[in-house]
C-alpha cells in the first residue's frame, strides 16, 4: 500500500502544472456532474414512484366510490316503493296490490298485474343494467319482469338461503356476489339486490313481500371503465370471504389470493403494498367497501412504474456524457488560462537564476495571478527572507480583515441571503427550497427581535406554521399537522417562543421514532379566564412512570442538571424552563401539563391567563 502511495505521489509530482490543473479541474467537474446526476436521478425515481403509488391509491378509491354510488342508487330505487314521489299513486297501488292476499275477480287480478308491470317498466327505464325484477309476496305468488331469459315457474324462493337472509335482514338491502339467476333461465351471471318490503303505514309494519333485482355483471365493467386505469393495470373484487368475484385484466390463482389476504390483514380498510404474484412484482392498492365489505384491488406491474424512471436514467447518462465533453473543453481552456502567468513566472525565475534582473513580466489581469506577477516584479530585487516576512505579514493582515468582516455580519445579511435563495428557488422552480428559505427567514426574524418578550398568539402560530412547514419538507408524507385555533384566542398575548419547543419535542420524540403517518394537532380555546392551548401527536407516546418522572422534573423549582427526555436520551430541560418561566410570569396555577399513552401519542396542555399581566408578576421587562 505504501509503495502504491509513493508511486501515485511520484506520478502526480512529475506532471506539469498545466496537467495538474487540467486533471484537477476535470476531476472536480466530473465529480459534480456525477453527483448531481446521481442525486437527480435518485430524486426523480423516488418522486415518480411516489406519484405512481399515490395515483394507484386514487384510482382504487375512485373505483370504490363509483361502486358504492352504484349500490346506493339501486338501494334508493328499491326504497322508491315507500317514497312519496311523482309516482305516488302507483306506489300506493303497488302496496295495495302486494298486500292483497286474494282478488275478487280475474279483472281485478289483471289490473293488479298491470299496475305492477308498469311500475317494473319505470324501474327498468331508470337503469339500463337491470336484467330482471321480482316481487314475491307468498310461496306461490310472485310478479316479475325480465329483459333476458325465461322464468322457472316451479321455483320456490322461501327455502333459498338468499331469501332467508333477506327476511332476517328485516328491511336492510342484501347484496349478493355474482351468480347465475335464481329463477331465470339465463346463463350470464348477475348481481342481486334483495329487500323485505314492509307496510310503513301500519304500526307493526307488517311485511308484504320481498323484492329481488338482478343487475347485469356489466354494471361492474362500466364502473371500472369510467376510471382511466391504463393498459397494464388490473382490477380484482374479493368478497368478504376472500373469494374472487370479479376480475378485469388480471388473472389470480388461489395461492396469489392467499398472499394478498395476508398482506391486507396488516393494513386498515384501505392501503397499498407490493407483492410478487406468479413471479411478477406488483404494486397493489386496495379499498374496502363500507356497504358490502368487498375488497376492491388494483394491480400495477412494477415494471410499468420503473419504466419511466429507467428512461430518466438513460437520459441522465446521455446528458452527463454531453456535460463531460463540455467539461473536458472547459477544463482545458481553464488550465491553459491558469498556466499562462505561471509560464511567465517560470521564465522570470530562470532569468533570476542566471543573474538577469533587467526585465519586467507583463500580465494585464487583476486576478491573484496578476497580483503575483506584479509582486514578483517588485520583490525580485529583494532578499528571499524579506519576501517571506512580507508575505506572512500580508497573510496575517488578510486574516484579520476576514475576521473583522465576519464579525460585521448581522441578521440583515442572513435575511438577504435567504431572500436570494428564495428567489433562485422560484426561478429554478424548486418550491421546497423557496418554502424552506422563507419559513427560516420568518423564524429568524421573529426569534432575533429582542424588543418584546410578549407577542400575540396569532404571530406565535404563524412562526409555528413556518417551523412545521420546514419539518414537513424533511419528513414529507410522514408528518402532517392540523390547527384549530379559535379566532377570539388569536389576539390574546402570550410569552414568545413557548410553543415551538413543545412542537419540536412532539416531532423529535413522538413522530420521528414512529416513522410513519405522524399527525400533530394544535388547538386553542377560551375557557373562562384561561386560554388552553393543546399540542398533541399520535407518536410513540410515553410510559406512565416516565410521565410522572417528567412532570416532577418540569415542575421542580430546584436547579437541576439536564435530564434525559424519557425514552431517547435527549434532555428535558427545555420543557422545564418554559414551565418555570410561565409560572414566574403568570402564577402557579398556569403552566404545562402532559398526558400520554405509550404507543398512542402524547398531549401537552399549556394554560395561560386571559387578563393582562400585573407589574408584580412581570419579570421579563415588559407588562401587559
More confident residue, 385 or 348: 348
Min mean pLDDT across 47-61, 88-102, 336-350, 531-545 is at 88-102
pLDDT score recorded for residue 621: 39
Characterize the bridge pairing of strands 244-248 and 454-456. Answer: unpaired
Residue 595 sits at φ, ψ, to 5 deg, of -125, 140
Per DSSP, helices labelled H in 80-195 are 88-99, 106-126, 161-169
pLDDT on residue 9: 61
323 or 88, which is more confident? 323
Q: What is the pLDDT of residues 385-424, one digit of tens each?
A: 565 566 456 546 655 554 544 445 456 667 667 777 777 7
Give residue 402's pLDDT: 41
Please state the length of the chain. 624
Provide the residue range defining the domain that includes 508. 452-609
Q: Is residue 203 exposed (0-12), middle (13-18) or buried (19+ Cβ within 10 Å)? A: exposed
pLDDT (tens digit, 9 = 90+) per residue, 221-238?
778 877 777 778 888 888
pLDDT band at 379 (very low <50, low <70, confident <90, very high): low
pLDDT of 616 reads: 37
C-alpha cell at 261: 389476504
**Whole-angstrom distance, CA of residue 62 vs CA of residue 245:** 19
Place of cell 432575533: 448
Residue 591: helix, strand or coil by DSSP? Answer: strand
> What torsion do the CA atoms of 215, 217, 218, 220 make, to the nearest 10 degrees?
100
Helices 368-379 + 384-408 axis angle, to 10: 140
Where residue 103 sits, what CATH number does that domain have? 3.30.450.20
| Domain containing residue 523: CATH number | 3.30.565.10
Q: Does the residue 263 lie in any domain?
A: yes
Give the pLDDT band of residue 523 (cuts 50, 70, 90): very high
Count of structural domains, the chain = 2
Residue that finishes a domain, picked among 268, 287, 318? 318
DSSP alpha helix (H) spans, 449-565? 457-475, 487-490, 500-505, 512-514, 544-554
Within a domain: 334: no
Q: Is position 427 within any domain?
A: no
Mean pLDDT of 513-534: 90
Confidence of residue 111 (pLDDT cuts 50, 70, 90): confident
Average pLDDT over residues 451-462: 83
pLDDT band, very low/low/confident/very high, at 594 (cuts 50, 70, 90): very high
Predicted confidence (pLDDT) per residue in 234-285, tens digit: 888 888 788 888 888 788 877 888 888 888 888 778 888 888 888 888 888 8
Residue 168: pLDDT band with limits 50, 70, 90 = very high
**Predicted local distance difference test score (pLDDT) of residue 534:** 95
pLDDT at 416: 67
pLDDT for position 318: 82
- pLDDT greater than 60 at residue 211: yes
Q: Which pLDDT value is given to residue 619?
A: 41
What pLDDT is recorded for position 605?
94
pLDDT of residue 113: 80
For 528, phi then psi, to 5°, come to 65, -120
Which of 110-119, 406-415, 588-597 has the lowest average pLDDT? Answer: 406-415
Residue 532 lies in a domain: yes
pLDDT of 620: 43
Report whether 198 contacts 207 (CB < 8 A).
yes
Q: Which residues of 260-290 are buried (b: 16+ CB within 10 A; e: fewer)?
A: beebbeeeeebbbeebebeeeebbbbbbbbe
User: H or E segment at 315?
Assistant: helix 302-353
Among 262, 293, 318, the domain-final residue is 318
* Model confidence at 568: pLDDT above 50: no
Check whether residue 257 and residue 108 sit in a common domain: yes
- Of the listed ranges 404-408, 424-428, 612-616, the least confidently predicted one is 612-616
Q: Is the pLDDT of residue 301 over 70?
A: yes
Note the Cα 320 to chain centre separation in Å: 32
Task: Report d(CA 246, CA 221) in Å as an integer.
Answer: 9
Stretch 307-325: mean pLDDT, rounded? 77
Residues 440 and 468: beta-carbon distance below 8 Å: no
**Strand pairing report for 530-537 and 518-527:** antiparallel
Least confident piece of the model among 228-232, 408-412, 540-544, 616-620 = 616-620
**Residue 197 domain-assigned (yes or no):** yes
Assigned domain for 439 exists: no
Of the candidates 294, 318, 342, which is a domain's last residue? 318
Q: Please give the helix or strand (H or E) that residue 211 lies within, else none.
A: strand 207-216
Q: What is the mean pLDDT of residues 208-212?
A: 88
User: Would residue 150 count as lying in a domain?
Assistant: yes
Taking the complete model, does pTM exceed 0.75, yes or no?
A: no
Q: Which long-range contacts (CB under 8 A, 24 or more apart) does 197-202 make?
A: 197/81, 197/98, 197/135, 198/171, 199/95, 199/99, 200/82, 201/95
Local confidence band at 115 (pLDDT 50, 70, 90 cut-offs): confident
The predicted model gives 192-209 an average pLDDT of: 81
The answer to whether position 472 is within a domain reads: yes
What are the C-alpha distances in Å from 180 to residues 211, 215, 383?
17, 11, 109
Note whether 312 and 460 are same-domain residues.
no
Query: What is the grid cell recorded at 586?
Result: 403568570
Banded pLDDT at 216 (limits 50, 70, 90): confident
In the predicted model, is pLDDT for residue 535 greater than 90? yes
CA distance 622 to 454: 8
Look at the alpha carbons of 313, 318, 321, 326 in this order and tell me if their dihedral is positive or negative: negative
Amino acid at each position: 500500500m505504501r509503495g502504491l502511495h509513493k508511486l501515485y505521489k511520484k506520478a502526480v509530482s512529475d506532471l506539469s502544472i498545466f496537467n495538474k490543473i487540467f486533471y484537477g479541474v476535470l476531476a472536480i467537474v466530473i465529480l459534480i456532474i456525477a453527483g448531481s446526476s446521481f442525486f437527480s436521478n435518485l430524486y426523480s425515481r423516488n418522486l415518480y414512484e411516489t406519484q405512481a403509488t399515490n395515483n394507484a391509491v386514487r384510482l382504487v378509491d375512485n373505483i370504490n366510490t363509483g361502486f358504492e354510488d352504484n349500490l346506493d342508487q339501486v338501494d334508493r330505487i328499491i326504497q322508491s316503493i315507500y317514497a312519496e314521489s311523482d309516482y305516488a299513486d302507483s306506489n300506493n297501488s303497488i302496496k295495495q296490490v302486494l298486500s292483497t292476499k286474494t282478488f275478487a275477480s280475474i279483472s281485478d287480478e289483471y289490473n293488479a298485474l298491470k299496475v305492477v308491470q308498469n311500475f317494473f317498466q319505470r324501474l327498468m327505464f331508470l337503469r339500463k343494467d337491470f336484467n330482471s325484477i321480482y316481487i314475491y309476496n307468498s310461496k306461490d305468488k310472485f310478479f316479475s319482469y325480465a329483459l333476458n331469459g325465461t322464468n322457472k315457474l316451479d321455483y320456490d324462493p322461501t327455502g333459498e338461503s338468499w331469501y332467508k337472509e333477506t327476511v332476517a335482514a328485516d328491511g336492510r338491502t342484501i347484496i349478493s356476489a355474482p351468480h347465475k339467476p335464481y329463477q331465470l333461465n339465463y346463463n350470464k351471471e348477475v348481481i342481486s339486490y334483495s329487500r323485505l318490503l314492509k307496510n310503513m303505514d301500519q304500526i307493526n309494519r307488517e311485511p308484504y313481500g320481498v323484492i329481488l333485482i338482478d343487475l347485469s355483471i356489466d354494471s361492474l365493467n362500466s364502473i371500472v371503465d369510467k376510471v382511466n386505469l391504463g393498459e397494464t393495470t388490473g382490477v380484482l373484487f374479493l368478497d368478504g370471504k376472500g373469494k374472487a368475484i370479479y376480475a378485469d385484466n388480471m388473472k389470480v390463482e388461489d395461492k396469489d389470493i392467499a398472499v394478498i389476504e395476508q398482506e391486507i390483514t396488516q393494513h386498515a380498510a384501505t392501503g397499498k403494498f407490493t407483492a410478487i404474484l406468479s413471479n411478477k412484482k406488483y404494486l397493489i392498492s386496495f379499498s374496502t367497501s363500507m356497504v358490502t365489505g368487498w375488497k376492491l384491488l388494483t394491480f400495477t406491474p412494477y415494471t410499468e412504474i420503473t419504466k419511466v424512471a429507467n428512461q430518466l436514467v438513460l437520459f441522465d447518462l446521455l446528458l452527463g456524457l454531453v456535460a463531460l465533453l463540455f467539461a473536458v473543453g472547459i477544463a482545458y481552456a481553464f488550465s491553459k488560462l491558469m498556466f499562462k502567468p505561471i509560464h511567465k513566472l517560470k521564465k522570470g525565475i530562470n532569468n533570476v537564476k542566471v543573474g538577469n534582473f533587467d526585465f519586467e513580466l507583463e500580465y494585464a489581469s487583476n486576478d491573484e495571478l496578476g497580483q503575483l506577477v506584479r509582486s514578483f516584479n517588485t520583490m525580485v530585487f529583494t532578499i528571499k527572507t524579506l519576501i517571506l516576512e512580507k508575505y506572512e505579514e500580508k497573510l496575517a493582515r488578510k486574516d484579520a480583515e476576514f475576521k473583522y468582516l465576519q464579525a460585521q455580519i448581522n441578521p440583515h445579511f442572513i435575511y438577504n441571503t435567504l431572500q436570494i435563495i428564495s428567489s433562485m428557488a422560484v426561478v429554478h422552480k424548486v418550491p421546497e427550497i423557496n418554502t424552506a428559505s422563507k419559513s427560516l427567514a420568518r423564524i429568524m426574524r421573529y426569534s432575533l427581535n429582542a424588543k418584546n418578550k410578549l407577542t400575540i398568539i396569532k404571530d406565535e402560530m404563524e412562526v409555528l406554521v413556518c417551523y412545521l412547514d420546514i419539518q414537513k419538507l424533511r419528513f414529507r408524507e410522514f408528518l402532517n399537522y392540523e390547527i384549530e385555533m379559535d379566532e377570539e384566542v388569536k389576539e390574546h398575548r402570550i410569552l414568545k417562543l413557548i410553543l415551538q419547543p413543545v412542537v419540536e419535542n412532539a416531532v423529535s420524540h413522538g413522530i420521528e421514532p414512529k416513522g410513519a403517518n405522524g399527525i400533530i394537532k394544535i388547538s386553542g380555546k377560551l375557557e373562562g379566564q384561561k386560554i388552553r392551548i393543546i399540542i398533541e401527536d399520535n407518536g410513540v407516546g410515553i410510559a406512565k412512570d416516565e410521565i410522572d418522572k417528567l412532570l416532577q422534573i418540569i415542575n421542580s423549582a430546584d436547579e437541576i442538571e439536564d435530564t434525559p427526555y424519557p425514552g431517547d436520551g435527549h434532555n428535558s430541560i427545555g420543557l422545564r424552563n418554559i414551565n418555570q418561566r410561565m409560572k414566574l410570569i403568570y402564577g402557579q396555577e398556569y403552566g404545562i401539563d402532559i398526558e400520554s399513552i405509550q404507543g398512542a401519542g402524547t398531549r401537552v396542555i399549556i394554560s395561560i391567563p386571559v387578563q393582562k399581566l400585573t407589574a408584580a408578576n412581570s419579570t421579563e421587562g415588559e407588562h401587559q
